Structure 1
């Protein structure tokens, strides 16, 4: 049960956004800009970064939610998501994404953990300044989102089948107001 009175029928961050529409709007806009841009990183790569940081922060809701969205973008292949969670250095992803995940993991610990060597490694693997910028901002934003969800003890479903239908809804409609106003999709409808 959440630490504050929220709509428990809306899982995770959705209940918190519904509780405070005033803060929901800029948070939703930030998520939309960071995770659905087609500039540089793919949507799947962006969601994998969000998943990885959420996993490191032990935020089950965000880890599962964004892992499911990444999986949706990758045509249902959850293997890469699991590989990223276990050991991204052995995952079947590009050297560029591995270098960016390294940076994201360092941001999760604290911004000053990112070194010029980390950035140079990412650039030599093909990352642009824009890719590095977005990676750092996604990682920093997900530290905020994860702490928001867990700091208020938002309802976190244990049933993993509930995440895929929601992932489809987000992948198809984005991170707009529907996030906290649309009903929770039913498992088996994805």
Structure 2
């Protein structure tokens, strides 16, 4: 049961963002820019950063949501499973593996990012901007994971919700739907 009143039809982060739309707007804008804006990292790669951070933070809602979004973008499920459980054998470039190591380090503490990890990423072809964005996305998802779990948000009643959410994230992005979310209420 959530610690604050949220709409029952809006599990996870969406209910919290709707609860306080004024603080949600800049967070949504930053997330939209980082995960869907112009970048040399693909949208799928950026969703993998959100996935690995959320998984390691044990945030069930965010892990499931971003796994579903990454799976949709990649068109398969093996990559996200390997990222979460066997990163070094994941079907990714060495650059992406190195960036995901940095993301995991940020998830533990920003001070856990090592010179060796940054050097590994650079040697694998990562740019300073990609390293920067990896750290920022990882830090942002630590915020989200703590926000979702810190207020004990609702889990969706139907696991199919995550597929619908993934479709919305991939095809609409992270900004608020113009019509809001009342259409999600059960009739």
Question: TM-score normalised by the shorter chain: which range applies?
Answer: over 0.9
1:130 aligns to what?
A: 129
1:31 aligns with 2:31: yes
Equivalent residue number for residue 166 of structure 1: 165
TM-score (ref. length: structure 2): 0.94
Superposed displacement of residue 159, structure 1 = 4.1
4+ aligned runs moved over 3 Å, structure 1: 183-186
The alignment's C-alpha RMSD in Å is 1.7
Counterpart in 1 of 2:56? Answer: 56
Unaligned runs of 5+ in 1: none
Deviation of residue 173 (structure 1)?
0.8
Mapping of 1:39-188 within 5 angstroms? Answer: 39-75=39-75, 77-157=76-156, 159-178=158-177, 181-182=180-181, 183-184=183-184
User: Does the 8 Å contact 1:17/1:180 carry over to 2?
Assistant: no
Gaps of 5+ in 2: none
Larger deviation, residues 34-43 vs 102-111: 34-43
How many aligned residue pairs are there?
185
Conserved? CA contact 1:170–1:179, under 8 Å: no
TM-score by length of 1: 0.92
Instruction: Give the distance between the partners of 1:179 and 1:143, measured in 2 at CA.
Output: 27
